[in-house]
Amino acid sequence: MKKIVRVLQQIAVASVAVVAANSAEAAIIGSSVRGGYVGQPETNLELQIVDPPPQEIRIINFEREEGDDRINPDPNRDLRAVIEKQALVLPRNLDVLDEFGEETFRPNTTIAKDTLVSSYLFYVNPAGVGQPKFRWHGQIRFDAPVLGILGGFSINWNASNRLLGLENTSYSIGSGLDRRQGDIVNIDNNVLQFDITASAGMEPFRVITSGSPTVSVPEPITILGSGVALGFGVLFRKIKQKQ
């Protein structure tokens, strides 16, 4: 009996660890990202959630750096995401884009004051000045409808950071989506689709979703229950084999 209790304790701890590891990603329920240097074969990429959130978020354009800093030393090209304020009641109206592209690059719709919203910041990790252009494309699925996008060079990043950014994180954003090189971000209910190309810019954009989830996601107790059930099955098979 002591052995059974000990095994169940181990299973419970492992299951809770799974829940804890995914808690920060709960509002992003799926993603599909591909990318590669333009003109070369593409590969599957990941959506990396920056967790825990950093104390400083510095999003730059490598063209503005000097010397060796014009080349990005990080070879990882995964798409990055920071989960910002969640379930925020907007204290004022917020002007946003309903898509970003060649013809739509300035805010063209408004999220009304007192709307419950959640915010996410995305950016790419380019190779740097003088390197081949890299293309990222795919989609991200949220647990609630996407209400708007903030991106491009017409956005007041400082005001947006104060309103939607993390309280204990300092922001320095010095680049943006570029319609001239064909960056596209659009919305289909709770799905965000993107196609971005860059060699030196990190192409940041903010996604604002409803703060009221409408798409069901697995409850922690369901995940925990599945883990315990699996553990029972393995345990009972071992006991039966010894009989």
pLDDT at 239 over 80: no
* 8-47 per-residue burial string, b: 16 or more CB within 10 A, e: under 16: eeebeeebeeebeeeebbebbbebebebbeeeeeeeebeb
| In a domain? residue 22 | no
| In a domain? residue 239 | no
| Domain count for the chain | 1
Residues 6+ apart with CB under 8 A from 103: none
* Per-residue pLDDT tens digits for 132-176: 899 999 999 999 999 999 998 888 999 999 999 999 999 999 778
| In a domain? residue 171 | yes
Range of the domain at 93: 27-225
| In a domain? residue 13 | no
| Strands (DSSP E) found in 116-203 | 116-123, 134-142, 146-151, 170-173, 184-188, 191-198
| In a domain? residue 132 | yes
| In a domain? residue 236 | no
* Per-residue pLDDT tens digits for 172-201: 997 789 888 889 999 999 999 999 999 888
* Per-residue pLDDT tens digits for 17-45: 222 233 444 589 999 999 999 999 999 99
* Per-residue pLDDT tens digits for 57-84: 988 777 666 666 677 778 889 999 999 9
Query: Where is 31: in which H helix or E strand?
Result: strand 28-37
d(CA 238, CA 227): 17
Q: What pLDDT is recorded for position 201? A: 86
| In a domain? residue 73 | yes
- pTM (2 decimals)? 0.76
| In a domain? residue 12 | no
Q: What pLDDT is recorded for position 14? A: 31
